[in-house]
Amino acid sequence: MKRRFEWELICMAIQTSINGKPVALSAEPDTPLLWVIREELGLTGTKFGCGIAACGACTVHVNGEPTRSCSVPVSEVAGKSITTIEGLKSADGTLHAVQKAWISAQVPQCGYCQSGQIMAAIALIEKTGSPSDAQIDEAMTNICRCGTYPRIRKAIHAATGQAAKAAKPAEGAA
Ligand code: FES
Ligand code: FES
């Protein structure tokens, strides 16, 4: 009985907001946010890649900041607002402008890294307005094993209304 009481204390509900809806999460405080998003909430658009904040596949927004959810304990997001890839489209199903640009530029290959790439790109655009190639290269540290970096750059420019600039050659570019 005492053990159960202790367990319930450990698993105290963590109040937060996911994609605009208030939720009470019941995970242990040190559970990675990514696990809660995927396993407790069933939002599997956010991917697991490395688990050590290196690849960016798990990127979500926490209070608007791009955040590698594999390396953030869920207790740290109490009272904060989280947006995942599933939360980008509007209520009538219209895709976010960056998602549309991604489709137009045919960015994805295998697609595994792309939700994280899009979340990182949106955060960059919201911060800079119309990022230069240099700003894109500096901010977009998410890894793409398929080498879609030139098309990611092109889609970001398209989403911000810039003429697509000639993409610089990138290693492994497809
Ligand atoms: S899975 Fe989180 S950064 Fe790689
Ligand atoms: S599209 Fe395959 S890893 Fe990026």
Residue ranges of domains in the chain, CATH in brackets:
2-87 (3.10.20.30), 97-167 (1.10.150.120)
* Cβ of 78 below 6 Å from ligand 2: no
Assess whether the C-beta atom of 55 lies below 6 angstroms from ligand 2: no
Mean pLDDT over each residue of the chain, to the nearest integer: 90
Q: Provide mean pLDDT across the span 40-51.
A: 97
pTM above the 0.85 mark? yes
The interaxial angle of helices 114-128 and 97-104, nearest 10 deg, is 120
Q: How confident is the model at residue 12 (pLDDT cuts 50, 70, 90)?
A: low
Distance CA 44, CA 46 (A): 5
Ligand positioned closest to the Cα atom of 33 = 1
Res 169: pLDDT: 46
Per-residue pLDDT at 49 exceeds 90: yes
Torsion over CA of 107, 85, 120 and 54, rounded to 10 degrees?
Answer: -100
In the predicted model, is pLDDT for residue 108 greater than 60?
A: yes
